[in-house]
Chain A
Amino acid sequence: MLFSKKNKEVFVNPLSANNPVTVQVLGICSALAVTAQLKPAIVMGLSVTAILAVANVVMSLLRKTVPNRIRIIVQLVVVAALVTIVSNVLKAYVYDVSVQLSVYVGLIITNCILMGRLEAFALQNKPWDSFLDGVGNGLGYAIVLVIIAFFRELLGSGCLFGFQVIPECVYECGYVNNGLMLLAPMALILVACIIWFQRARNKDLQEK
């Protein structure tokens, strides 16, 4: 069965109840770095999803052969190789996007979500399950990034996707963009707000 009940859970859980950013609190660093605008946040979310899915499958295929003592190194090599390939392909075929993402593509290597999922899931599960887990966690990460980027770009520069959405007349009445929104600390505060909101609604996540 491609979509058994367990597989469905593997895919859906990371989207909310076990979200990598807001519940597992992984990948916070890149959530700060790329969320000042929506476009890089979306490209980053999709890149992480693609790389995480492929890395999960590769590690899952290798799981019975990997020597236990160097498994973290093997995971790093797999992720680093994939990221280098993706970054090269972006540079060759969508140069504009790669310029915009600049160093952030390389930063995917250091994203804790990748190591976390490889170590916690792919090394114990079959390739198909691992693939679903990778896509689910990648999308869970992407959703949070997009939510943060939406508020940061809207309140910080009055734009969405680079287009002005707050009309000029509002500025004339004395409204100013909130510069703090564009700095990293505000991303943390927004992450905290999302966590607060999520815990308030989902009783299972609340500590006793």
Chain B
Amino acid sequence: MNTNSNSYTVIYASVMVVIVAFLLAFVASSLKEQQDKNVELDKMKQILSALNIHDVEDPEATFNAYVEEDQILNLNCTVKSHKGGFKVSAKSADELPLYVCNVNGETKYVIPVSGAGLWGPIWGYVGLNADKNTVYGVYFSHEGETPGLGAEIATEKFQSRFPGKHVLENGDVSLGVEKNGKVSKPEYQVDGISGGTITSKGVDAMLKGCLSRYKGFLNN
């Protein structure tokens, strides 16, 4: 057979594309459920990390044990719904998710935050005490920050600088990250990462930007 003729080439390409398309569609749809489940479990683990609960065996059961309500707030911070906040993205333009949790009898709130680092998106969760002002724990992650530099925001070492800091100063969000050694308000600011300046600034902007949307709730 002449494998160089035009018709052979066209037919060969068409058949190949159809086969590969079916194959990929089959793989993607058969694994979709498992993948979505993994994403959800991972999100639960991240929220639990903001409550200083690490290395959980069964994220779903632990999550249900600690998180009492996944609320949805309107933009003016009135409660829209007491359930369903888990499905709302932190980037949502008209709804604010808020997790009301109970850790050892104390009420904690977890607020999701998202922003931009140097190479890609960064995101995280901020856990607050019942006074809505003191940080209880934080969790940050990133898609592709430089390992050893910006990627340090995902480490315990960086995140442990946050608990005990205050969020609001005269009604505005003051919690943030400042250049290493330039911290002027130690009750609101933490040291940034040397060599990870842009990522540190990204975390700062993310905290100020996202938490400001919750001002009505935090000041209440």
Contacts and interface: CB of A to CB of B under 8 A. Distances in A.
Interface of A: 36-37, 64-70, 73-74, 77, 81, 84-85, 88-89, 91-93, 95, 99, 102-103, 156-157, 177, 179, 182-183
Given A65-B12, A91-B31, A179-B149, A81 B20 contact: yes
Contacts, number: 74
A156 B13 contact: no
Interface residues of B, number: 27
Contacts of B146: 36, 182-183
Contact of B35 (A37, A88, A183): A88
Nearest to B148: A182
Nearest to B195: A179
B3 A68 contact: yes
16 contacts: A36-B147, A64-B3, A67-B4, A67-B8, A67-B13, A70-B12, A73-B13, A77-B16, A81-B24, A84-B24, A95-B35, A95-B39, A157-B147, A157-B148, A182-B148, A183-B146
Contacts of A179: 148-149, 195
A91 B20 contact: no
Q: Is the interface of B mostly helix, strand, loop or mixed?
A: helix
Query: 3 tightest CB-CB pairs across the interface, nearest first?
Result: A182-B148, A36-B147, A95-B38
Given A74-B12, A77-B17, A93-B34, 16 more contacts: A65-B3, A67-B8, A67-B9, A67-B13, A68-B3, A68-B4, A73-B13, A74-B13, A77-B16, A77-B20, A91-B31, A91-B38, A92-B31, A95-B41, A157-B148, A182-B148
